[in-house]
């Protein structure tokens, strides 16, 4: 759980030290380019994946780290499975379920594989970003990129209190478990009973969250909050950082162009 | 010596929207440099009274003045800079992603220039023995550390009065000792609500007992703490 909430992996690498604004822009652009690549542009996929792995090694995370974590995207990409059957083309195999005939085509398989690989590569970049950038730095980067301040404050509060909610949920679960002793063959009660208990716990969490939000707002008021959002000014990017940003953007644009023109 | 009243509460009554009468005709005057403990059972109105002292709750009946300013309308922002309020649960008080951001919050909203804000954050963290914790995230701190950072968040505003809601609740004996020593080192006028009567005996010469929204006793702690019958009537007990 803590891993999901706090994916940051502290290392002393150049990538970790890079300005979060540069990293956020490059990561978002990498994801956009990956998404924009045409289907079946395999050489470009390989190049992008190689770039992600190279960064992963440079960030001292190792090759396996992002590769393994990227698997989290695979179940979502399975939503593209119908493409195998819905794309017209040379029939590879036929599946017959009663009156229904499903024809898997070669083109369909390639489409599906492309979607799978593209989503996997996109996630690599997202993982790289979150593993090498503290969330607080990411918030500053969002501010610099002119994401509405209110939204950034909401992200910040969400991140701060998510841990607390996870903790409260755990406390509630322990309280439940300590009162559900195993006394017979049918322990834990019926599904309906368990659903009711779980529903009660969710409601309980909601009420606690609601009450806490009032107290947090009072605490903000007590220190002068007046509806306006104030933060420190960010230091301007150094020229070397602009250069790094421009370099990354040019490389990514070339990769994208290559994929679109030559597949 | 001429004493100036810093906080004046006159005939204050308050009723929550659900109809619960939380305060009834409360009168309280606190002078500069005083240390006052508010004690009483749960639900006596201690927290409600505290939330009136810097205008989080607007007075419905009666009025509150801080340093001569009525706690209402245009004065509220000024009053909030004068009265540093530390909430009971530091997880409510510490709402920013890092310790530094949290301590800087009050000074930023006071409109201070950035280098002054940084200086104040340094000073406030040093005052509570948490220097070097600026980059830390609040959920990684211990309960005692959170309490001290919560105190720093208001110290950075350099208030004239410190108001603390149950400062020693939930701390282990060592954390409690540390916090009491810390409070003792603060020069400000201080008002705390607490169940910790031992702390009251050691730190607060004056004690106000609240019960069911009313002030039922107000006097030297040494005298009131000796009155077993009084304490028992109002659900208190000296260990």
Who wins on pLDDT, A29 or A99? A29
User: Are A126 and A254 part of one and the same domain?
Assistant: yes
My answer on whether A99 and A23 are in the same domain is: yes
pLDDT at site A102: 81
**Is the domain covering B5-233 a CATH 3.40.50.300 domain?**
yes
Structure confidence by residue, pLDDT tens digits, B23-76: 999 999 999 999 999 999 998 999 999 999 999 998 888 889 999 999 988 899
Predicted pLDDT of residue B214 = 94
Segment (H or E) for A92: strand A91-97
The reported pLDDT for the residue numbered A263 is 63
Nearest CB neighbour to A219, from listed B95, B110, B138: B95
**Residues A118-173: pLDDT tens digits?**
999 999 999 999 999 988 889 989 989 999 988 999 999 998 898 888 888 888 88
Q: Does the pLDDT of residue A1 top 50, yes or no?
A: no
What's the gap in Å between the CA of B93 and the closest CA on chain A?
6
Do residues A121 and A100 share a domain? yes
Chain B contact set for A212 (CB, 8 A): 91-92
Handedness of CA A166, A169, A170, A171 (dihedral sign): positive
Q: Which residue is listed with tokens 């770039």?
A: A51
User: Higher-confidence residue: A194 or A52?
Assistant: A52
A154 shares a domain with A137: no
Percentage above 90 pLDDT, chain A:
41
The pLDDT score that the predictor gives to residue B174 is 92
Chain A residue numbers touching B54 (CB-CB < 8 A):
222
A135-144 vs A106-132: helix axis angle to the nearest 10? Answer: 100
Confidence band, pLDDT 50/70/90 cuts, at residue A181 = low
Kindly state whether residues A137 and A242 are assigned to the same domain.
yes
Domain identity same for A129 and A6: yes
Asked, for residue A227, whether it belongs to a domain, the answer is no
Report the SS3 class of residue A28. Answer: helix
pLDDT in tens, B155-195: 999 999 999 999 999 899 999 999 999 999 999 999 999 99
Specify the number of domains making up chain A: 2
Q: Do A130 and A8 contact (CB within 8 A), yes or no?
A: yes
CB B233 within 8 A of CB B39: no
Percent with pLDDT over 70 in chain B: 99
pLDDT in tens, A49-85: 999 999 999 999 988 888 888 888 888 888 888 888 8
CB spacing of A216 vs B92 below 8 angstroms: yes
Which ranges of A6-148 does DSSP label H, i.e. alpha helix?
A: 14-17, 20-36, 42-58, 63-69, 74-77, 83-86, 106-132, 135-144
pLDDT at A186: 58
Q: Are residues A173 and A208 in the same domain?
A: yes
Could you tell me if residue A228 is inside a domain? no
Partners of residue A93 on adjacent β-strands:
A104
Which pLDDT belongs to residue A88?
82
Average pLDDT value over all residues in chain B = 92
d(CA A246, CA B148): 45
Residues of chain B in contact with residue A2, where contact means CB-CB under 8 angstroms, are none
Closest-approach residue (CA) in chain A for B153 = A223
How far is residue A30's CA from residue A250's CA, in Å, rounded to a whole number? Answer: 11
Residue A87, token pair as written in the block:
């794309």
Residue A182 pLDDT grade (very low, low, confident, very high; cuts 50, 70, 90): low
Residue A231 belongs to a domain: no
In this prediction, residues B212-236 reach a mean pLDDT of 93
Sheet holding B35-39, edge to edge: B83-86, B161-165, B189-193, B35-39, B206-211, B214-220
Q: Which domain holds residue A172?
A: 148-180+190-222
Do A232 and B96 count as a contact with CB atoms less than 8 A apart? no
∠ at Cα A154 (A153, A155), nearest 5°? Answer: 90
Whether residue A6 lies inside any domain: the answer is yes
What's the pLDDT band for A187 if we cut at 50, 70, 90? low
Extents of the domains making up chain B? 5-233
What gap in Å lies between CA A153 and CA B95, rounded to an integer? Answer: 10
pLDDT digits (tens, 9 = 90+) for A229-245: 888 888 888 999 999 99
pLDDT score recorded for residue B229: 92
A165 and A68 co-located in one domain: no
């Amino acid at each position: 759980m803590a891993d999901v909430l706090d994916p940051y992996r502290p290392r002393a690498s150049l990538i970790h030290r890079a300005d979060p604004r540069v990293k956020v822009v490059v990561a978002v652009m990498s994801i956009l380019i990956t998404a924009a690549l045409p289907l079946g542009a395999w050489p470009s996929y390989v190049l992008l994946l190689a770039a992600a792995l190279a960064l992963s090694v440079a960030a001292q995370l190792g090759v396996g780290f992002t590769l393994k974590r990227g698997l989290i995207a695979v179940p979502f990409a399975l939503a593209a499975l119908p493409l195998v059957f819905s794309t017209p083309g040379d029939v590879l195999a036929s599946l017959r379920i009663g009156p229904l005939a499903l024809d898997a085509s070669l083109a369909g398989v390639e489409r599906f594989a492309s979607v799978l690989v593209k989503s996997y590569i996109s996630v690599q970049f997202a993982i790289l970003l979150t593993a090498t950038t503290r969330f607080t730095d990411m918030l500053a980067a969002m501010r610099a990129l002119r994401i509405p301040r209110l939204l950034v404050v909401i992200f910040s509060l969400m991140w701060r209190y998510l841990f607390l909610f996870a903790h409260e949920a755990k406390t509630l679960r322990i309280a439940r478990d300590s009162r559900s002793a195993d006394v017979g063959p049918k322990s834990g009660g019926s599904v309906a009973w368990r659903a009711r208990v779980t529903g009660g716990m969710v409601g309980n969490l909601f009420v606690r969250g609601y009450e806490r939000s009032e107290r947090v707002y009072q605490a903000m008021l007590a220190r002068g909050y007046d509806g306006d959002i104030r933060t420190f000014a960010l230091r301007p990017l150094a020229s070397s950082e602009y250069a790094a940003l421009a370099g990354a953007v040019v490389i990514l644009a070339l990769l994208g162009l290559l994929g679109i023109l030559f597949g | 010596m001429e004493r100036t009243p810093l906080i004046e509460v006159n005939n204050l009554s308050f009723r929550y929207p659900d109809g619960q009468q939380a305060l009834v005709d409360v009168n309280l005057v606190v002078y500069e440099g005083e240390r006052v403990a508010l004690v009483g059972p749960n639900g006596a109105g201690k927290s409600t009274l505290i939330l009136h002292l810097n205008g989080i709750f607007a007075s419905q009946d009666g009025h509150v003045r801080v340093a001569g300013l009525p706690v209402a309308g245009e004065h509220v922002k000024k009053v909030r800079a004068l009265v540093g309020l530390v909430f009971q649960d530091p997880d409510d008080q510490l709402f920013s992603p890092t310790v530094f951001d949290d301590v800087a919050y009050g000074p930023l909203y006071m409109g201070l220039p950035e280098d002054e804000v940084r200086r104040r954050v340094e000073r406030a963290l040093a005052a509570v023995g948490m220097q070097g914790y600026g980059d830390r995230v609040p959920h990684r701190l211990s309960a005692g550390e959170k309490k001290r950072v919560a105190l720093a968040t208001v110290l950075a505003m350099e208030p004239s009065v410190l108001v603390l809601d149950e400062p020693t609740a939930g701390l282990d004996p060592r954390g409690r000792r540390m916090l009491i020593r810390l409070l003792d080192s603060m020069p400000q006028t201080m008002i705390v609500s607490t169940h910790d009567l031992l702390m009251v005996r050691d730190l607060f010469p004056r004690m106000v007992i609240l019960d069911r929204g009313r002030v039922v006793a107000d006097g030297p702690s040494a005298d009131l703490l000796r009155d077993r019958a009084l304490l028992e009537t109002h659900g208190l007990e000296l260990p």
